[in-house]
Structure 1
Amino acid sequence: MFPRSNALGILLRGNQILVERFEGMHSKGDGTYYRPIGGTIEFGEYSKQTIVREFLEELSVEIKIGRYIGCLENIYRVGDEIGHEITQLYLVEFADRRKYSKDRFVVREGERTSEAHWVDIDDFITRSKFIYPNGLEDLLSDWRSISYTSVERT
Structure 2
Amino acid sequence: MSVTTDASRGRLIIPGLGRLYSSLHDGAETLLRVIAGGFLTIHGSQKITDPFGAAEMVEGLGFYPGAFWSLLLSCTEFFGGIFIAIGLLTRPAAFAGMFVLLVTVWFHWITVGQGFSGAEKSLLWAAILLFFVIRGGNRHSVDARIGKAF
**TM-score range with shorter-chain normalisation?**
under 0.3
Larger radius of gyration: 2
User: Of the two structures, which has the highest relative contact order with CA contacts closer than 8 Å and spacing of 6 or more?
Assistant: 1
**TM-score, normalization by structure 2:** 0.26
